[in-house]
Amino acid sequence: MSTSPTFTLDGREIPFEAGQTVLQAALTADVYIPHLCYHPEFKPHGSCKVCTIKADGRHVSACTWPARHGMVVENATEELDDLRRTLVQMLFAEGNHFCPSCEYSGHCLLQAVGYDLQVETAGFRHFFPVRPVDASHPEVWLDLNRCILCELCVRASDEVDGKHVFGLSGRGAGKHLIVNALSGRLADTDMAATDKAAEVCPVGVILKKKAGFRVPIGERPFDREPVSAQAARYAPRPPARHREED
């Protein structure tokens, strides 16, 4: 009788299936590795580096690093958490994140990861970039102040919705999310509130109108328990176009 291959994660044996990454296998085993740009219904692409681990002594992104039998992985170490804190602090400093007044508070993955890593300040001088808020669409609100360039909305609109509504433009500090319309307005695209792109944003850049605060503060997913206690929620699963949020 054959046994599943395993690797060791912080001293624990983690089974995995062929083709799984370290992050996918860990989350399937209900073991949390901090992450931001990963989504369980999409192929990982490693843009944020918050899931950085040590695999056999090498720093790699857990979301893209293939699981290998016998591999030794370090995750919950002060060295790696310090790196993650710095990355999260940079994201807070680079955008305009106003958590106390944000409708996505309690749902926001960036906020939840920050809390879990005990990030109390941005740690860097705030950029305070000038970013537009687009309320032109009848069903969807677009607030670019919160964007962390994870590309999930870009990929969802392309791969699931087939509409190619979003894209990234610019380089370096000037890189930003854009709308695929000559006017630059979301209202001039064929996006709908039922699109997958409207569901996947981890930080509340894309919000459905007339739905604000339906779930009261204090009763939202990350209000009830920390993100590190919800690993299985992010275990890989088949794409679902119109899945309701938990």
Regarding whether 92 and 67 lie in a shared domain, the answer is no
Position 2 pLDDT exceeds 90: no
In this prediction, residue 16 carries a pLDDT of 97
The pLDDT mean for the chain works out to 94
pLDDT band at 213 (very low <50, low <70, confident <90, very high): confident
Residue 28 counted as domain residue = yes
Residue 238 counted as domain residue = no
* Continuous H helices in the chain: 22-28, 78-94, 109-116, 152-156, 221-224
Token match 């919950």: residue?
A: 76
In this prediction, residue 241 carries a pLDDT of 55
160: three-class secondary structure by DSSP: helix
**Where residue 173 sits, what CATH number does that domain have?**
3.30.70.20
Regarding whether 18 and 97 lie in a shared domain, the answer is no
**Where residue 59 sits, what CATH number does that domain have?**
3.10.20.740
Residue 3 counted as domain residue = no
pLDDT band at 245 (very low <50, low <70, confident <90, very high): very low
Rounded distance between C-alpha atoms, residue 168 and residue 64, angstroms: 21
In this prediction, residue 4 carries a pLDDT of 86
DSSP code at position 25: H
Regarding whether 110 and 19 lie in a shared domain, the answer is no
Tokens encoding 17: 């299936």
Residue 244 counted as domain residue = no
The total number of structural domains in the chain stands at 2
The residue range of the domain holding 150 is 81-223
Tokens encoding 89: 């602090």
Q: Which residue, 149, 148, 154, 156, is CA-closest to 179?
A: 154
Q: What is the pLDDT of residues 31-78, one digit of tens each?
A: 999 999 999 999 998 999 999 999 999 999 999 999 999 999 999 999
Q: What is the pLDDT of residues 87-143, one digit of tens each?
A: 999 999 999 998 988 999 999 999 999 999 999 888 999 999 999 999 999 999 999
Rounded distance between C-alpha atoms, residue 109 and residue 212, angstroms: 17
pTM of this structure? 0.93
Residue 148 counted as domain residue = yes
Regarding whether 196 and 137 lie in a shared domain, the answer is yes
